[in-house]
Chain A
Amino acid sequence: MTSQELDALYQEIILDHYKTPHHKGLREPYEAEVHHVNPTCGDEVTLRVHVSGDGDDAIVEDVSYDAEGCSISQASTSVMTDLVIGRPVKEALGIHDEFLTLMQGRGTVEPDEEVLEDGIAFSGVAKFPARVKCALLSWMAWKDATSQALSASEATKERS
C-alpha cells in the first residue's frame, strides 16, 4: 500500500485509542463472558457484559475486556465500549449494525459521525479486507455476550 493509504488506515484516532484504550480490564459484575479468537492471526479477546433490566428496557451497564491483538483490533474494542456502555441494548445493537455495514462496505459507505463517533476512523480499514476482521473481532464478541446475557435473564424470568 502507499503511505497515503497507510495513513488512511492508521488514523490518529485509532493510534490514540491503541495507546490509551478505554474501559480495559475484566470487571464484576457480569452476566456473560465470551472468548473470541481470530484463527488466522491469533488475536484474542475475553469480553464480559453487564446488562440491567430486560426486553426493551435492557441497558448496557458495563463492557469489560482483556484483549491481545493489533492496533486496529485494540482501538476498535476501545471505541466499541465508548459507544455501547450506558446505552439501551436495542440502541447499541443498532450501532453495531451500522459499524458492521461500514466495515463490510469495502470503503463505499459514508459513515455517520452522529452515530459512530470515533468509529468513523475505521472507514479506512474497510478498504483492506485482510484487516476488517481485526476491527470486527470485539464487536462480534460483544454481540455474542449480550445475546447470552439477555437469554440468561429471560430464562431466570421464566423460572421465577
Chain B
Amino acid sequence: MTVSTTSVPGLLDGLDLIRADFPILSRVLADGHPLVYLDSANTSQKPQVVIDAMVDHLERHNANVARAVHQLGAESTEAYESARDKVAAFLNAPSRDEVIFTKNASEALNLVANTLAWARGPLEIGAGDEVVTTEMEHHSNIVPWQLLTERKGARLRWFGLTDEGRLDLSNIDELINERTKVVTLTWVSNMLGTVNPIADIARRAHEVGAVVVVDASQAAPQMPVDVQAAGADFLAFTGHKVTGPTGIGVLWGRAELLDQLPPFLGGGEMIETVAMERSTFAPAPHKFEAGTPPIVEAVGLGAAVDYLSAIGMENIRAHEEAITGYALEGLATVKGLTVLGPTTASGRGGAISFELEGVHPHDVSQVLDSRGVAVRAGHHCAKPAHKRFGVQSSTRASSYLYTTPAEIDALVEGLEYTKKYFRVDCS
C-alpha cells in the first residue's frame, strides 16, 4: 500500500522508506488485497535489520554464552551482552546490570511477584499488607499479584476506571497507604489505549514506601521510556512488540532492590558456587537468568531497539499520536461504532478498541480479514476492563510506526462493508 496523499501532521518523515524496511508489509493476501496490518499491539512486524542480525548470528557466531572459551563462544557472549547494553541505553537505565532478560513480559512480571513472595526483610509481604493494581491491566499484571496476595494472606486492591477510560485517581491517598507494599500498573493500556501518569503515581507510592512495578509492554514500543524519569522500581516489556523477536522479554529493576531479592529459577549461570549442601548466587542480572538464555533473540532485540532509537522514540510517539487521531476521526464517521477508551489522541496510545452495533467482534475481524485488514477480536487478555464497560469483547485496531492514513481508510471502508454484510441498517 502506498502512502496516502492525505496530509496528517506529525507523521514520520520518509514513511514509505520505513515501510520498505519491513518485508512483510509488501505481502498480498487472498483475493489480491494488500496486507493492512493493524494488530501491532498484539505483535509488531520485524524490520529487515532485525531479521538479518539474527540470521547473521546463527550463521556466523552461534555458540553458548558465558561458558565457552573458544572464539565463537566469546563472540556469542559479546553479542548477547551488547544487547543488554543496548536495552539499558533504550531505557536510560543507570546500570546495564539492572537489565534482566526473560522469556517475555509475563515472565518478567511473574519474576517480580514470585521473588517478592519469597523475599525476607524489608521487601517481605505478609498478612494485612496490600498490593495495588488497576482495573485496566492485562491479565499478566493481575494474575501474578492475585497468586502472591493469596499465598501471603495479603490484600489485592485496584484503581477503578472513569467512563472515559482513564484511571480514577480520586481515592489515591486512601488506596495507596502505609499498608501498601507494591503498586503495579500498566503505563499504556493494551485495550483502552490510555496513557497513565506513571511518575505521579510512583511519587505517591514512594511516599508510603511501596515498590513500583510498571508494565511497559505497550509503552516501550511507542514512546520514550526513561526508567529514572518514570520513578519506577521495576519495569517490564517484551521484545516482540518493539519490532524484535518473540521469546525474549526484559525486566529492569533498581540495583539495590535486585540485590535484596532471592533468585527466581535455579540452574546454570545463576550461581557463584555450588556444593551439595548449599549454593551461593551470582550478582544481578545473572542471578535471575538460570540456564542458557534466548541468545539469538537477545541479539534480535538489541537490533530492534537500535532501529527504533535511530528513528527516534519522540518521532515514533508523534507518528502514533497523528495516526491515532486520524483513526479516531475516521471511526467517528462509522454509525453504530463506539470507541472504548479516550476518544482524543492526547494521553492515548495507538490501540483503539471499539464495538460495532449488531456485529460481534469475531465477525467484524473475519470480514475485515477477507479484505486484507488484520485486527484483533476478543477480550485482549483484559477481561476486567471489558467488564467495566459492560462488554464481553471488542474489536481492536492498533497502529505502529509503519501505519499509514491509507490503512486507516481501508479499516473504515472495511467496517462499512462489514455492516452491509451483516445487514446492519444504521448507516
Contact = CB atoms under 8 A, between A and B. Distances in A.
A41 B377 contact: yes
Contacts of A71: 359-360, 363, 422
Interface residues of B, number: 21
A68 B367 contact: no
Contacts of A134: 362
Nearest to B383: A42
B362 A70 contact: yes
Nearest to A18: B422
Interface string A56-83: 0000000000001111101000000000
Interface stretch (A4-12, A25-33, A141-149): A4-12
B378 A70 contact: no
A6 B362 contact: no
B419 interface: no
A3 B370 CA distance: 6
B423 interface: yes
Nearest to A4: B31
B378 A44 contact: no
A134 B378 CA distance: 13
A19 interface: yes
A155 interface: no
Nearest to A134: B362
B228 interface: no
Nearest to B424: A19
A3 B32 CA distance: 11
Given A2-B370, A5-B370, A6-B366, A15 B423 contact: yes
Interface string A111-150: 0000000000000000000010010000000000000000
A3 B31 CA distance: 7
Contact of B30 (A5, A44, A72): A5
B393 A42 contact: yes
Contact of B392 (A1, A42, A74): A42
Contact of A10 (B369, B383, B386, B421): B421
A160 interface: no
A40 interface: yes
B366 A9 contact: yes
A1 B370 contact: yes
Contacts of B423: 15, 19
> Which of A9, A15, A40, A70 has the most B CB atoms < 10 Å from its CB?
A70
Interface in B381-398: 383, 386, 392-393
Contact of B31 (A2, A18, A19): A2
B31 A41 contact: no
B422 A68 contact: no
A41 B422 contact: no
B181 interface: no
A5 B393 CA distance: 24
Contact of A1 (B30, B361, B378, B383): B30
A40 B139 CA distance: 13
A27 B362 CA distance: 28
B319 interface: no
A68 B359 CA distance: 12
Contacts of B369: 1
Interface string B131-168: 00000000000000000000000000000000000000
Contact of A42 (B363, B370, B379, B421): B379
Contact of A6 (B370, B379, B383, B386): B370
Given A6-B367, A44-B392, A68-B392, A15 B422 contact: yes
A19 B359 CA distance: 10
Q: Taking each of B383, B386, B421, which has the highest tally of chain A beta carbons within 10 Å of its own beta carbon?
A: B421
A15 B383 CA distance: 27
Interface in A66-106: 68-72, 74
A41 B30 contact: no
B370 A41 contact: no
B422 to A, nearest CB: 7
A123 B392 CA distance: 27
B392 A70 contact: no
Nearest to A16: B423
A89 B122 CA distance: 64
Interface of B: 30-31, 359-363, 366-367, 369-370, 377-379, 383, 386, 392-393, 421-423
Interface of A: 1-3, 5-6, 9-10, 15, 18-19, 40-44, 68-72, 74, 131, 134
Q: Which 4 A-B pairs have the closest CB atoms?
A: A70-B362, A70-B360, A6-B370, A2-B30
Given A10-B363, A41-B393, A71-B363, 8 more contacts: A1-B366, A1-B369, A5-B30, A42-B393, A44-B392, A69-B362, A70-B363, A131-B362
10 contacts: A3-B31, A6-B421, A10-B421, A41-B379, A41-B393, A43-B392, A68-B392, A70-B360, A70-B361, A134-B362
